[in-house]
Amino acid sequence: MESEERPSARLSTARSRELGEELRRVRHRARMSTAFVADALGWSLGKLSKLETGSRGTSPWEIGTLLGRCGADKPTRDRVLAIASEVDGGNFLRRHEPWPDTLTAVAVHEHAARTVTTYEPLVVPSLAQTEDYAYALTRDRDLTEARMTRQDALRRPGGPEMVIYIHEAALRLVVGDAKVMRDQLLRLTLMCGWSRISPRIIPMSAPSHTVLRHSATLLTFSSPTKPLAYAETETATVFHDDPSAISAYEAKMRQLERVVLSPAHSRDVFARWADAYDRDHRSAPEAKRDSA
């Protein structure tokens, strides 16, 4: 039993925490307590607890045994065993099956984060979208609902401090119609007064720089957990906790902070855009017919 506990001394990684959360969810779905599962497998309670928090590892064979004991279905077994068999090299990719907002690696780390800093060049970032804007962008009701649930989790009491960088190009790009944009800009204006959330504008006048090209999100945690960064592609999200990759993301966020507008100036710009879209909405033929 003594040798069994030695792996617990290691620090967790992003992938081990993702794996642990997957195992915890499997056990919860089976409505089995940690004490019951540990006893059934002949494990110590500490071994199972540390495995679920990502602070120790075990063999894929033991993980398969745990999944079988909890009655996990084949797609779940295949997904979890694929994670367990990966080489933990500080970078990993997760396909959107079906959406980025429901990825376990996103949920477990956003919930634990102390700070979240995110940037989008052409759209309002997912964490600040209204429901109508998200639907107009994705045309998927289930994805929109998942995105709203994700936002609610982040805004819970004790949630992370969030800085949301938005390029002014995203305010000019009409998603949906003028009403959708008006409501989205009003939301951003109001968010400037919320605690723990700071939406900031990178103006069109900002100097051209390579950091403006791609979206990015950087999460930090209480010590000793290392930062985590990720970026979405069309079909997958790429995660990094390798120190060299984190340094690149930290440098990107520092550069964005140099060109961003102040919180007060950002709020004024959001409000002006909201007024402009409100005028467009009121002057649209549909609005005139509705008021007739």
CA distances from 159 to 150, 195, 287 (A): 12, 10, 39
The CATH topology of domain 11-85 is 434 Repressor (Amino-terminal Domain) (1.10.260)
pLDDT in tens, 213-232: 999 999 999 999 999 999 99
Residue whose structure tokens are 């949301």 = 164
Q: Which residues contact 155 (CB under 8 A, 6 or more apart)?
A: 196, 197
The CATH topology of domain 91-291 is Endonuclease; Chain A (3.30.870)
The band of 8, judged by pLDDT with boundaries at 50, 70 and 90, is very low
Radius of gyration of the chain (CA): 22
Q: Is the pLDDT reported for residue 198 higher than 80?
A: yes
Return the pLDDT at 77: 95
**In 113-202, where do the E strands start and end?**
115-120, 161-167, 197-202
From the list 11, 14, 25, the residue with the least C-alpha distance to 93 is: 14
Q: Is the peptide bond before 121 cis (omega within 30 degrees of 0)?
A: no
Could you give phi then psi for residue 44, rounded to 5 degrees? -75, 155
Residue whose structure tokens are 């084949």 = 74
Q: Which of 94-108, 179-193, 278-292 has the highest mean pLDDT?
A: 179-193
Return the pLDDT at 286: 60
Q: Is the pLDDT reported for residue 292 higher than 90?
A: no
Q: What are 175's two structure tokens?
A: 């998603």
Q: CA 176, 177, 179 angle in degrees (round to 5)? A: 115
Q: Is the pLDDT reported for residue 98 higher than 90?
A: no
Length in residues, the chain: 292
Domains of the chain, by residue range, sit at 11-85, 91-291
The band of 12, judged by pLDDT with boundaries at 50, 70 and 90, is confident
Q: Is 176 helix (H, G, I), strand (E, B) or coil?
A: coil
Amino acid at 168: E
Q: Is the pLDDT reported for residue 3 higher than 70?
A: no
Amino acid at 87: V
Average pLDDT of the chain is: 92
The band of 10, judged by pLDDT with boundaries at 50, 70 and 90, is low
- The alpha carbon of residue 16 and the mean position of all alpha carbons in its chain are separated, in whole angstroms, by 17
Least confident of 55-59, 159-163, 281-285: 281-285
Q: Is the pLDDT reported for residue 238 higher than 80?
A: yes
